[in-house]
Chain A
């Protein structure tokens, strides 16, 4: 019975992997190399799993206790140990080397990647695009108040044309690389879109990053992937990947920091005038 159940476990695991309906979502970014590295890791580790457990099951069948059997006395075998060490080392290196090459790519954003800020706070996402100058203005968590939810430095000329998106979807242009600059104003968060395969924590007090090139137009859900309090599971958002024209239309509808400040000033004045007239 013991070897039978072991065989069921081994064969069942392999069949489960082959026929599983639960596997990665269709990829929508340039990181197909990550998927290939996973695939490679699966084949190698799967092979080891079957070989090692298969041999173990064989031993359980072949060397099961019975009358008159006596175990061999063999303290060690240098040859076997050397061969196994070398083989394992080669296998591990074969996994590590391609992995590090892809990682190098992951941490080296291309020069032309557009910087886009994703800002996290309990428990929603906001975004900031650099505007026409292509540069994001500086920020400071100490500047944050009701009129300046992003904590923009009002004197920074680079920030005036920044496009601010609060409580709405982020749009990306199809096939254009973006470098996400990740900023949190309260606790750790993680900007994770499963279809992009990429993720990174947002850490208050610093700016982190990763880059992608969206390759498939569509609408993708953002999931926070770092525990951030009781609303963690509800901290969602959407990224819409548009073809070029649709993207430009969307971009034209967005407001800059300057325009929003102007709007806020007018609203305040109106409120003041209204208060006075009463």
Chain B
């Protein structure tokens, strides 16, 4: 609500590059908004492949007697499903798609600061996706090493895809990281340098804070994955021994010696744990904004929310070895990493409280984005709480490598962020296309996705309690553990998974159908305050804002301000332009 003096602009604006042909306008575009859509469509396309893979996996688990896929194929599918979902879908979608679309618009910039680099970033990402996809068709197929790619197994003969799949996987990851680095630097610098006048850091919407912090994390974390991928390529192709000790492959002594498999795990998780937050922090930011907008109330404890995002981001770099409690690393690491891991629960819990305290005394519109937010809170809370099991080193011992872990991470970094992504698409679709998504299909999509996912993953924890290990092609005869009722539970989970999968087809149909036949969206249909909705055109055109860049007078959460006639005040409206409600002489001051 507070206004401060707006600085004079110190530099002339630089003209943007304007496309001269259809190719440079629509395909090799430098407009961040189009690049965002390219990122989004590519990520969804490859993500759909990963979704289909999961159907085969679930059918195999529920009906092993059908042997719908072989052992090798099963392990290839779980590997590709995991890697695609984590890196090529979630990371690309949150940073490449949402980052590109929203950062310039929300901070009041005309585009990213390096539009050309931004374009190259997308095409590099596309190459990474294609290299990964090609591995499905090479001799031996894609790698089946598990998405964690642990050596020595990943490059030895007992693992499918060791002929070429593992090489393509590692190369693809390297290309992805190169592409990401170009995009990531762009996001960070745009946020730091190209904010419009009055847009102080503490006036940025939490969406931008989340994407910003996640990008910084990714810029620090991905190099660890990059070096481990390069070293493993050397171990595979040049027979170096970075990760390979002296060992025997099916009775034959290999020439490797002196390397450490655990070193790889440290490097992998030094990337891999921040990766969880690279996905989670943008989701935190977006969900904060959606809840605030659709509950018509300012986000509760904004400053705390910002510091929680930054704090979680920093802490996420000192918790990685909680993925390695039973890896054989020095057991005394367990004390340190369990402590840091449980500390991270505190700022995370505060965020959950603040979302709900935002609902408290709000004016809650149960729009589709709000429904997805509520679904997010349920699944994220559930997954966060099971994190307290797995983070507490001794509790992790019996549960590690069981279905409890599968249920936990799908709930917390699969379903929860995906619900945010979907909610965000329902929220920003009118801005991007100028049309509303179909409401009935949307509500059907939400309920099947939310309830269905909960029915998949909530009971799955209990398979972990029994002790059913993950990554088993089939359980076979294990009476003590895998009773016939547990097998029935797996059938139930598979049916729920197929139902959720079907609902996504409805969503995809809705996205394409509504773009043509949807109701035309009113300007700023949700009555939001942030700058992306204040553009002269909806959808915004190249350059985003009209002749003059907007000037920001307030934070992004001026909802239901006492004294204002409307229940929202856009960020670019100064106090003197706010129409007052009856009985007020100025904002917050009643007439006496």
Contacts and interface: CB of A to CB of B under 8 A. Distances in A.
Interface of A: 2, 5-6, 9, 13, 16, 20-25, 31, 33-34, 37-38, 41, 44-45, 48-49, 52-53, 55-56, 59-60, 63-65, 69-77, 80-81, 84-85, 88-89, 92-93, 95-96, 99-100, 102-104, 106-107, 121-123, 140-142, 144-146, 182, 184-188, 190, 192, 194-195, 197-206, 208, 220-221, 223-234, 236
B401 A225 contact: yes
A99 B338 contact: yes
B223 interface: no
A5 B389 contact: no
B261 to A, nearest CB: 5
A34 B397 contact: yes
Given A37-B392, A194-B467, A220 B480 contact: yes
B85 to A, nearest CB: 17
B374 A195 contact: no
A25 B359 contact: no
Which 7 interchain pairs have the tightest Cβ spacing? A205-B245, A194-B467, A229-B158, A208-B328, A187-B153, A107-B331, A71-B297
Contacts of A236: 476, 478
Contacts of A23: 462, 465-466
Contacts of A197: 397-398
B393 A186 contact: no
Which of B146, B251, B395, B486 has its CB near the most chain A CB atoms (within 10 A)?
Answer: B395
B378 A227 contact: no
Contact of B397 (A22, A198, A208): A198
A224 to B, nearest CB: 8
Given A41-B395, A59-B360, A141-B247, A199 B400 contact: yes
Given A65-B363, A186-B249, A229 B153 contact: yes
B1 to A, nearest CB: 8
A227 B153 contact: yes
Interface in B456-492: 458-459, 462-463, 465-467, 469, 471-476, 478, 480-481, 483, 485-486, 489
A37 B331 CA distance: 19
A187 B244 CA distance: 9
Nearest to B258: A205
A141 B245 contact: yes
Given A52-B352, A63-B362, A84-B350, 4 more contacts: A64-B364, A75-B1, A99-B392, A229-B158
Interface of B: 1, 71-72, 75, 144-146, 150, 152-153, 156, 158-160, 245-251, 253, 257, 259-262, 295-298, 300-304, 326-328, 331-332, 334-335, 338-339, 342-343, 345-346, 349-350, 352-353, 356-357, 359-366, 371, 374, 377-378, 381-382, 385-386, 388-389, 392-395, 397-402, 447, 451, 454, 458-459, 462-463, 465-467, 469, 471-476, 478, 480-481, 483, 485-486, 489, 557, 559-562, 567
A24 B257 CA distance: 40
B568 to A, nearest CB: 10
Main secondary structure, interface of A, reads mixed
A38 B398 contact: yes
Given A88-B346, A187-B152, A205-B259, A22 B465 contact: yes
A28 B400 CA distance: 19
Given A37-B394, A121-B248, A73 B298 contact: yes
A224 B167 CA distance: 26
B220 to A, nearest CB: 26
A2 B371 contact: yes
Contacts of A34: 394-395, 397-398
Given A63-B295, A71-B295, A85 B346 contact: yes
B374 A56 contact: yes
Contact of B363 (A22, A56, A63, A99): A63
A22 B251 CA distance: 40
Given A71-B560, A99-B394, A53 B489 contact: no
Contacts of B345: 88, 92
Given A24-B466, A70-B567, A60 B374 contact: yes
Given A76-B302, A182-B328, A49 B382 contact: yes
27 contacts: A22-B485, A24-B465, A24-B467, A25-B481, A37-B395, A48-B385, A52-B352, A55-B360, A56-B359, A56-B377, A63-B363, A65-B296, A71-B296, A71-B361, A88-B346, A89-B346, A92-B342, A103-B394, A182-B328, A185-B247, A185-B248, A186-B247, A187-B153, A205-B246, A226-B401, A231-B158, A233-B469
Given A23-B465, A24-B467, A228 B153 contact: yes
Contacts of A71: 295-297, 361-363, 559-560, 567
A97 to B, nearest CB: 10
Given A141-B245, A199-B400, A96 B361 contact: no
A5 B451 contact: yes
Contact of B326 (A48, A102, A200): A200
A112 to B, nearest CB: 20
A199 B302 contact: no
A22 B489 contact: yes
A196 B362 CA distance: 51
B398 A6 contact: no
A52 B353 contact: yes
A33 B357 CA distance: 37
Contact of B300 (A6, A70, A76): A76
A201 B158 CA distance: 18
A92 B561 CA distance: 37
A69 B262 CA distance: 58
Nearest to B400: A199
A228 B328 CA distance: 15
B288 to A, nearest CB: 13
A229 B146 CA distance: 9
Which of A13, A44, A122, A145 has its CB near the most chain B CB atoms (within 10 A)?
Answer: A122
A63 B300 CA distance: 15
B364 A60 contact: yes
Nearest to B70: A230
A106 B156 contact: no
Given A99-B392, A141-B245, A88 B349 contact: yes
A76 B156 contact: no
A107 B338 CA distance: 14
Contact of B381 (A16, A52, A59): A52
Contacts of A103: 331, 334-335, 338, 393-394
Given A73-B298, A100-B393, A21 B374 contact: no
A221 B158 contact: no
